[in-house]
Amino acid sequence: MTYPRRVVVTGLGAITPLGNSIETFWQNLTGGKSGAAPITKFDTTKFKTKFACEVKGFDPSDHLEKNEIRKMDPFVHYALASTAEALKDSALPLDSIDKTRVGVIWGSGNGGFSTFQQEMVEFGRGDGTPRINPYFIPKVIVDIASGWISIKYGFMGPNFTTVSACATSTTAIIDAMNYIRWNKADVFITGGSEAAVNEAGIGGFGAMKALSTRNDDPARASRPFDVDRDGFVMGEGAGALVLEEFEHAKRRGAKIYAEVAGGGMSADAYHLTATHPHGLGAALGMKWALEDAGLSIHEVDYLNPHATSTPLGDVSEMKAVVNFFGEKPDHLHISATKSAIGHLLGAAGAVEAIIAIKAIETSVIPPTINTQNIDPELPAGLNIVTGTSLEKEVNVALSNTFGFGGHNASAVFRKVRQ
């Protein structure tokens, strides 16, 4: 499919368990490091899972004013810090650009989760008097990150948030791409952030038996596709992308990382939390993404799958991959980077989109770490990159994200054609 307005990526920013900048993050990811470690944010003595992929060494005062920090939940701290890096990277001329043509679509699955927990715990300790922080609601609501970004920079274009559980920030990227295609804006700040490493987050996912309990070896707990995987590892952080209309970017001489070629969204229509056992919804999302991009299955070089390291989810996704790409797609390499950074929930899609884009830019596919024995239940004939990074020219990369409720989103990135 051909669109009169093409969309490209001109800026990247990241706050992750492997580093608080794009450069540090990419270096550690391709170097095969793990971001998992014992939780430091609360006492895990009575929790079955005692580790996570926390953001490390992040001080909001390095990025924000003191009076701003107290009005924000950590998920907004991460959003603004990653956005600042992405805007600097893009060299967007903020003093002269038409800010009515710059929009923000930012995703989060949970919003101010930590703030909500903190306020309700304090209320429960009291005598019933509602001594609620006046910033409670603005800190909690999911759309507030996109609001803060627009306020801080004066961006007056379309502004909203997407929520599709763990597909959230991929949905945000697809929406931003389409708004530029539709000539509703020339530039979008998009991505997602999450800060759910707290008692409610770890306790809630733990109650579902979704989390790994490999407490004796956290760094190797996230092991997608491995026969011994026992659940996902919670992550946190943010990924920010500057999307720009291609001619607009060219006119200002912008550095262009890749083109956002297409996106596909679908529903499993199957179960509240489980993926479809045959991956029917996942296959539809990939199919529609490639159709939207005008590409064939034979042109995809790299797939960054959802692959959270859960026993059922990994198998159903790879069934979808085989059903869609064929039983032995020799051209396609797959690496599951949640093995290194954990599952960032609503921010996963943005950070993994960045990984796909960096793979195109650098011709390096990061590894699936920790995976030693591929589960025999998985389809055979898949090129899963394990152990160390793979040097390979990547012209087209596909990123998958799936969320509770049966939400599926796939985004396609490609090298820019002039």
Residues known to be catalytic: 166, 306, 343
Residue type at 5 in one-letter notation:
R
CA-nearest of 82, 398, 392, 373 to 242 is: 82
SS (H, E, C) 198-255: CHHHHHHHHHCCCECCCCCCHHHCCCCCECCCCCECEECEEEEEEEEEHHHHHHCCCC
For residue 266, give both structure tokens: 């679908």
Residue type at 349 in one-letter notation:
G
SS (H, E, C) 188-200: EEEEEEECCCCHH
Axis crossing angle, helix 311-325 with helix 280-293, rounded to the nearest 10: 50
